[in-house]
Structure 1
Amino acid sequence: MVTVVGGVKTLPADDTVMSFDSIDRVAVLGAGNMGHGIAEVTAMGGYEVTMRDIEQELVDDGYEQIAWSLDKLEEKDRLDCSDRKSVV
């Protein structure tokens, strides 16, 4: 089931619907507080992620925030160097 503006639309339960297993790339629109966080956890989940925003500077800031967050996770021993390399 997919929620759409104005109601709920039921999709067919067959192979015409994309499954989570078939997703390997994700685009995050907006690199602000939520956007860079979504991009970070999605990348940590093993997906290839692209962040987009209205200005390149905002995307660059988003990547800086991700780097800062990964630094903090490493400091707390919640992320090792090899895992970090797979995220960035």
Structure 2
Amino acid sequence: MNLLEYAAKELLVKEGVPVAQYGVAETPEAAFDIACKLAKRPLVLKAQIAAGGRGKGRFLSGLEGGVKICQSPEEVKQIAQRMIGSILVTAQ
């Protein structure tokens, strides 16, 4: 089975398996809103791609890595602006 992380989490939640709080954003503004609603810090922002090595990848926007630890919703929005709509190149 080949699923993106968020899709796998949705299946696990549906079956009653506890998972960490998460949200899926298609815009930087949506990422900001989700980050504001999550009560935990730090926040982890992850690119959703169907390939391994996203943490070591590089976006064509110049951003290094598809997994970022953020300390505030504002930082989530700033990094999401560089992730969303950009291509992430990985070793795969």
TM over 0.5: no
Q: Which has the larger radius of gyration?
A: 1
Q: Whose relative contact order is higher, 1 or 2, with alpha carbons under 8 Å and at least 6 apart?
A: 2
TM superposition score normalised by structure 1: 0.27
Q: Which has the higher strand share?
A: 1
